[in-house]
């Protein structure tokens, strides 16, 4: 069970950071993405990454 939580947590951290980077305009790919330069996606991404960290640590 610990391995599953670790894997899910790592995936959530990576996806969350990707979403936050797109929302901040740091990672503007694909160019047609609706997430680019949208502050809402920064918050959603950071929240997802924090959830992933909580799964890893907890």
The predicted structure's pLDDT at residue 32: 87
CB within 8 Å of 21: residues ≥ 6 apart: 27, 45
pTM: 0.89
The predicted structure's pLDDT at residue 33: 86
Q: Give per-residue pLDDT as tens, 2-48.
A: 899 999 999 999 999 999 999 999 988 888 889 999 999 999 999 99
In the chain, where are the structural domains located?
2-57
Q: What is the DSSP letter of 30?
A: S
Contact 5, 52 (CB under 8 A): no
Q: Give per-residue pLDDT as tens, 40-54.
A: 999 999 999 999 999
């Amino acid at each position: 069970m610990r391995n599953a939580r670790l894997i899910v947590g790592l995936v959530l951290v990576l996806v969350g950071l990707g979403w936050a980077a797109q929302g901040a305009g740091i990672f503007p790919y694909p160019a047609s993405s609706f997430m680019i330069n949208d502050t809402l996606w920064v918050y959603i991404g950071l929240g997802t990454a924090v959830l992933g960290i909580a799964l890893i640590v907890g």
